[in-house]
Structure 1
Amino acid sequence: MILEVADIRVLPGHQAEFEYAAQLGLTTVFPKAKGFRGHQVRHSIESPERYVLLLEWEALEDHTVGFRESPLFHEWRDLVKAHFAEPPHVEHFTLVGAADTRDALRDQPFLFM
């Protein structure tokens, strides 16, 4: 699994319109792409014009070739590009470790020293 991280800056005052357009694209365009597994959209607390889009792909080429070189990419960009303050910064990541301690720590007392 590959994680695509897109750091997006939107124009001031375009947050609601961007969120609507992004959700529309993420639920109608991306699911048609080969290898697309899911997404999350995060909105910055400190920087109101900043979003981080987290997209899961089966393989790097599913995004860089299969999606980016398809009409789906242009369909996605047509929905959101009017709201970009600058081109998004995009990088791809592999998982090297993970943990979910919510269940493991739920009933454990915390010790403070």
Structure 2
Amino acid sequence: MILEIADIRIQPGQQAEFQKAIEQGLNTIASQAKGFRGAKVNHGIENPERYVLQIFWDTLEDHTVGFRESELFTQWRAIVGPFFAAPPQVEFFNLTFQSA
């Protein structure tokens, strides 16, 4: 399993609207992508314009090719992109340990 972490900074004062948009985008668009296994969104306490999005994929290619090169990605960005203050910083990780 691959973990995608996106560090997202949004425009000030847009938290409530962004939270609705990202939930909608995940539930209606990203969840349709091949290899999508779920997501978590965390909201910054010290920096309320910061969000950390975690998406779980079967393979890296499910994200980089299957999702990013599809119409689903275009739809996803149309929903969440208008809130971005800067492009998200995205990294991918392999699971090496998990506790019960």
Following superposition, the deviation at residue 39 of structure 1 comes to 0.3
**TM-score w.r.t. structure 1 length?**
0.86
**CA displacement 1:76-108 (0-9 Å, x = unmatched):** 0000111000000000000111223xxxxxxxx
| Structure 2 residues without counterparts, runs of 5 or longer | none
Alignment of 1:1-113 (within 5 A): 1-100=1-100
SS where residue 98 of structure 1 aligns?
coil
**TM-score w.r.t. structure 2 length?**
0.97
SS where residue 92 of structure 2 aligns?
strand
More strand by share: 2
Runs of 4+ in 1 over 4 A off after TM superposition: none
Structure of higher RCO (CA pairs closer than 8 Å, 6+ residues apart): 2
**CA displacement 1:44-63 (0-9 Å, x = unmatched):** 11110000000000000000
| Structure 1 residues without counterparts, runs of 5 or longer | 101-113
Q: CA RMSD in A?
A: 0.7
Same amino acid, percent of matched pairs: 59
